[in-house]
Amino acid sequence: MHIGILTGGGDAPGINACIKTIVTISAERGYRVTGIRRGWNGLLAFDASDPSSREEHIVGLDAQTVRRIDRTGGTLLHTSRIHPGNLKKKEIPPFLRNSPELMGSGLRHSGNFDLTDHVLGTIDTLGLDVLIVIGGDDTIGYAEHLSRKGVKVIAVPKTMDNDVYGTDYCVGFGTAVTRSVQYIHQLRTSSGSHERITIVELFGRSTGETCLISSYLAGVDRALIPEVPFDPETLADYLIEDKAANPSRYAMLTISEGARMVGSKMIEYCGRRYDGDGDETASIGQLTRETISMLTGQDVICQPLGYLMRSGIPDALDLMVGFNFAQLAVELIAGQRFGVMVALQKGVYTAVPLEEVSSSTKQVDISELYDLRYYRPKMRSVMGKPMFLY
C-alpha cells in the first residue's frame, strides 16, 4: 500500500501530530508513505519529465523523518491554497501554461482552468494507492472531486474556524480558542490601565464558532459573529454600559473577521462597504473601532489576533485529536473504506461520506448558544450537549 499525504489551506497546530501518527502506524502495517509538498500545488506542479521536480514537490516519509514533528506547530509538508480545478492562468505552472491540449480541454466557463487531468496523471505516475488530505472546506471539496474521478481519498478536517460540516471538531480549533482566551485576558491589563474599550478580532469568515467559544470562556462583554448582523448604535450603548459597570472602567468586545453591520450602517459611518471578503483595506474590527469611537467619543482600540491564533505548538486537545484522526484514517485504509472524512460527532470518532461534507455549511446554533438582543454568548442549557456544545 502506497499512501500520499498533503496539507492544504492555512496551517494549524496539530497537523504535524497527525502526519507523524499516519507515518508511524503505516510503517507498523508495512505501508509506504509519501508526502506531497505545498498541498494540491505539489501534484499540480509536478513535472514527470524533470528529475528536479520530484525533489522539489515530493518527499519520502518514515519514522525518523517525523520523529519530533509533533512537538511543533505548522505543517512539515508546507501548504498552499491552490485549487487545481479552478485555476487562474497565472497559477498554472510554466511547463503546463503553453500546453495546447491541456489548456484547450481545461478551460472552464468561468474563464479559469481545470487541470484535474494533470493531477490524476501525477497520482498515477507516483504510484499512489490512496491519498490522505488534511485541510478545510476548499481542500476537502477538491478531494471529493478526485474521489468522484476514482481516486481513493480519505480527508482529515483541519481549520481554526472549526467550520467543516459533518464534524464537531477540526484540528487546530482547540489551540485557536486556547490562544484567544489567553490573549484576551492579557489585553485586559492594558484596557483597564487606560480605561478603554477594546475590540479583539478573531478568525471566522463564515461562522462565529471560534469567536463565540473564546468569548464564552474568556467572559467578554459582547461578541459579534457572522451569523448575526449587528447595529452599531445599539452596540455602542451596550459598551458604554459595560464600561461603567466595570470597577476598572473598561469593556471587552470580540468580533469575527466575517462579522458585518446591519443594512448600510458601514457606509453611513465609515463611508465604505465591507462584505467580509477581505476586499477592503481595513478589517471589520478596525471599521467597528472607528464607528464605536465616533459614536461614543471613547478611546477604542482594535487588536487583531490573526496568525497568533495558529502559531506555535498545539495544545493537548489538538495533539489528541490529531493523533486519533490519523489512527482512524489508517484504520479506514486497512478496511478499504474510502471517499470519507474522519470526524468527531458528539464525542465519538466516526467517518462521514465526502458528499455529505460538501452538502451543507456549518453555522452557530443561534437559538441555543447566542443572545440576539445583547450580542453575547448565552448557553441556554448544556444538558445532553457534546463537550464542544456543537
Neighbours of 157 (CB within 10 A): 31
Q: Which residues contact 243 (CB under 8 A, 6 or more apart)?
A: 195, 197, 249, 250, 251, 298
* Residues 175, 242, 207, 169, CA torsion sign: positive
CA-based nearest residue to 56, from 41, 67, 68 = 41
List the catalytic residue out of 11, 70, 161, 242.
161
Burial zone of 206 (CB within 10 Å; 0-12 exposed, 13-18 middle, 19+ buried): middle
| Measured distance CA(33)–CA(129) in Å, rounded | 10
Cα 202 to Cα 150, 217, 255, 390, distances in angstroms: 38, 14, 6, 19
Q: Extract the C-alpha cell encoding 277.
A: 471578503
| Measured distance CA(76)–CA(302) in Å, rounded | 33
Confirm whether 161 is a catalytic residue. yes
Decide if 156 contacts 18 (C-beta within 8 A).
yes
Cα 371 to Cα 70, 193, 212, 263, 366, distances in angstroms: 39, 29, 11, 20, 7
| Measured distance CA(40)–CA(161) in Å, rounded | 21
Decide if 224 contacts 375 (C-beta within 8 A).
yes
| Measured distance CA(67)–CA(332) in Å, rounded | 23
The one-letter code for the residue type at 108 is R
- Please give the sequence-ordered ranges of beta strands (E in DSSP) within 194-347, or none if there are none: 197-202, 222-224, 251-256, 300-304, 340-345
As annotated, the active-site residues are 161
